[in-house]
Amino acid sequence: MNVPAVYELIAFNTAAASDNKIHDDSVARRFGFRGGLVPGVDVYAYMAHMPVACWGRRWLEAGQLDCRFQKPVYDGAATRVTAKAENDQLVLGVESAGDHCATGRASIAAGRPAAPGVDALPAPSPPTARPAASESSLTPGRSLGIAPVTIDRAMLSQYLEEIRETDPIYPTEGLVHPGQILRLANAALVQNVVLGPWIHVGSKVCHHAAARLGQELTLRATITSNTISKGHAIVEFAARVTADGKIRIAEITHVAIWRPRQVPEDAAATN
């Protein structure tokens, strides 16, 4: 296994103007953060650079990455992704502004992984009128769907610039970046319920095929749990990503704090 060298970049908050105000500096400070959070899906994209550098396209077709986010990455902060070999896996870490921010493990299957059936999950359309996020609207067993997405070369180019990706495999081979695939899981939340500030805390992505530019991507998901931990309301769901209605792209487990525990204003002011 050729373990890549440390990957370094300057983080960029791609969601500063999004509806999720946890990425807004003033709102994030109310929750005790130093500023708006770089999206977890983008930190995942930083991490994905390493297994692609190690295994290339094979990882995009038959690899997996299980990651957890412990501390925020902030806009403009120098960020380092590290990797070390452990058996047949890459043990990954993300350090930024002196903090250990994320951990993960990446691997690649000896052969193409067995993929679930395309019809294994319902495929609902997002509701016209989204309900507010709640225990009932995010109840286990509920199905989530998204509006189909087609990523073209211009969208890819802008995305690669925003996440500071330097690997040429995506524009050269016309491939969708794995971080763009994981963004579809975020869409499953925001297109189905109205959320306040919320935080992506971890994901596991198992690839079955590389997605190509111009394919119509869809996602089907089912909520598997909605619990309270340390005052945070946390939702987890299982999802399948499909291209052109028939090509199995990825299986995702996605975890998010949909209602954070809010800290007192005086405590937030000291951070």
User: Who's near 125: CB < 8 A, 6+ residues apart?
Assistant: 145, 147
Dist CA 259 CA 262 (whole Å): 9
Closest CA relative to residue 223, chosen from 180, 199, 256, 178: 256
pLDDT attached to residue 38: 97
pLDDT attached to residue 268: 36
Strand partners, 145: 220
**In a domain? residue 69:** yes
pLDDT attached to residue 120: 64
pLDDT tens-digit series, residues 199-239: 999 999 999 999 999 999 999 999 999 999 999 999 999 99
Backbone angles phi, psi at 207, to 5 degrees: -85, 140
Task: Give the percent of the chain with pLDDT over 70.
Answer: 92
**In a domain? residue 236:** yes
**In a domain? residue 25:** yes
**In a domain? residue 225:** yes
Residue with tokens 């070390």: 84
The answer, yes or no, to whether residue 13 has pLDDT greater than 50, is yes
pLDDT attached to residue 140: 96
Task: Give the percent of the chain with pLDDT over 90.
Answer: 86
**In a domain? residue 1:** no
Backbone angles phi, psi at 58, to 5 degrees: -55, -40
User: Who's near 112: CB < 8 A, 6+ residues apart?
Assistant: 61, 62, 208
Helix, coil or strand: residue 265? helix
| Range 180-197 average pLDDT | 97
**In a domain? residue 97:** yes
pLDDT attached to residue 123: 67
What is the number of structural domains in the chain?
Answer: 1
Domain region containing 233: 7-269
User: Who's near 203: CB < 8 A, 6+ residues apart?
Assistant: 40, 41, 44, 66, 67, 182, 185, 252, 253, 254, 255
pLDDT tens-digit series, residues 102-146: 999 999 976 554 555 545 666 678 999 999 999 999 999 999 999
| Range 232-257 average pLDDT | 96
pLDDT attached to residue 124: 75
Reported confidence tier of residue 2, pLDDT bands at 50, 70, 90: confident
CATH of residue 251's domain is 3.10.129.10
Helix, coil or strand: residue 266? helix
The answer, yes or no, to whether residue 59 has pLDDT greater than 60, is yes
**In a domain? residue 2:** no
Task: Please give the model's pTM, rounded to 2 decimal places.
Answer: 0.93
- Average pLDDT over the chain reads 92
- Strand 247-259 and strand 199-207: pairing? antiparallel
**In a domain? residue 65:** yes
> 205 near 181, Cβ under 8 Å?
yes
pLDDT attached to residue 263: 52
Distances (CA, A) of 151 to 132, 183, 184, 270: 29, 12, 12, 42
The answer, yes or no, to whether residue 266 has pLDDT greater than 50, is no
pLDDT attached to residue 4: 79
The answer, yes or no, to whether residue 161 has pLDDT greater than 90, is yes
Dist CA 83 CA 73 (whole Å): 18
